[in-house]
Amino acid sequence: MPLSAYQIAEEPYFEPQGGEVALFSAAHALRQPVMIKGPTGCGKTRFIEHMAWRLGRPLITVACHEDMTASDLVGRYLLDAGGTAWHDGPLTLAVRHGAICYLDEIVEARQDTTVVVHPLTDDRRILPLEKKNELVRAHPDFQLVISYNPGYQSVLKDLKESTKQRFVALDFAYPDAEREAQIVAREAGVAKDVAVLLVRIAERTRNLKGHGLDEGASTRMLIQAGRLIKQGVGLAEACHVALVLPITDDMGVRETLSDVIAACA
């Protein structure tokens, strides 16, 4: 298969929070485009990987950024040994061969780039390749998935309504304390009581959102701290380098977070 390299061989661990697995499966059966909304590090990408494995579909992931052009998605002509040849971009590969194409943090891309997906998200299911003068009709198994963090929305960095309304949406949040501790314990390989303590610290940092922090500590960050602890790093030091330093440069906020860690420990 042309996309065998994108097939996920082993099941990615994912702990469901509600009905998201059934909802995504229903949307996939209809090949409806799906939008995943939620804070950084809450499991959006892991969920998509898990669903691609569960559905047996190859997954092509694109990390969106502000310098990404439409050509980066659909493809371009490049020089090779035989002269000039067309090379499909990741979106075109997925459209031709029936993969799930996942555009991660799509709001980071320019709006004139993201509109290229519009013909794929309605009844047409086509991808015009203007530079190649070709119209690619989507493979029956093709599905488009996008994600973004609503916490970073702004007037200049948000999806157009004409784009949003083409998707069904799943709203993600951090897991409840018990489930999050279970995830951290499994992924970091630490004891349950250590995971519970890390989650307690994270909850305190999340309460500071809007009071010096744009975001609190994510589940991903807790796993990173847990892995350091498993390697013999002390709790306070592991939390300092994995939780405190990455999320703020403000010395006052750092001191507050250090106090939170000391109080929880």
What CATH number has the domain bearing residue 35?
3.40.50.300
Residues 68, 129: one domain? Answer: yes
Closest CA to 245 of 221, 229, 226: 221
Instruction: Indicate if 191 and 160 belong to the same structural domain.
Output: no
Q: Which of 41, 48, 66, 54 is nearest to 10 (CA)?
A: 54
Q: How many CA atoms lie within 13 A of 30 on its CB side?
A: 13
Rounded CA separation 49/13 (Å): 9
CB 23 within 8 A of CB 51: no
32 and 116 share one domain: yes
Q: Are residues 139 and 205 part of one domain? A: no
For 37, the 3-state DSSP assignment is strand
Q: Which residues face 100 on adjacent strands?
A: 59, 143
Question: What is d(CA 71, CA 92) in angstroms, rounded to the nearest whole number?
Answer: 10
Residue located via tokens 């509600």: 18
Tell whether 16 and 144 lie within a shared domain. Answer: yes
Q: Is the pTM of this model over 0.85?
A: yes
Confidence at residue 172, expressed as pLDDT on a 0 to 100 scale: 95
Q: How far apart are CA 131 and CA 152, in angstroms?
A: 34
> For the chain, what is the domain count?
2
Does 99 share its domain with 208?
A: no
pLDDT, mean of each 10-residue run, the chain (265 residues): 89 94 98 95 96 97 93 92 89 97 92 89 95 95 94 64 93 95 97 96 90 88 97 96 94 91 85
Secondary structure class of 191 (helix, strand, coil) = coil
Q: Are residues 95 and 11 in the same domain?
A: yes
Give the residue numbers spanning the domain of 260: 177-264
Last residue of a domain, which of 171, 201, 223?
171
Continuous segment of H or E residues that includes residue 231: none
Residue 228, pLDDT score: 98
**162, 194: one domain:** no
- What pLDDT is stored for residue 155 in this prediction? 47
Choose one of 127, 147, 171: the last residue of a domain. 171
Give the residue from 148, 171, 194 where a domain finishes. Answer: 171
Sign (positive or negative) of CA dihedral 103, 60, 93, 31: negative
Do residues 100 and 162 both lie within one domain? yes
Q: Do residues 92 and 190 share a domain?
A: no
DSSP reduced 3-state for 62: strand
**Domain identity same for 204 and 164:** no
> What spatial distance separates the first Cα and last Cα of the chain, rounded to whole Å?
52
Among 37, 39, 36, residue whose Cα is nearest residue 209:
39
Statement to judge: residues 139 and 205 lie in one domain: no
17-51 burial code (b ≥16 CB/10 A, e <16): beebeeebeebbeeeebbbbbbbbbbbbbbbbbbb
Helix (H, G, I), strand (E, B) or coil at 148: strand
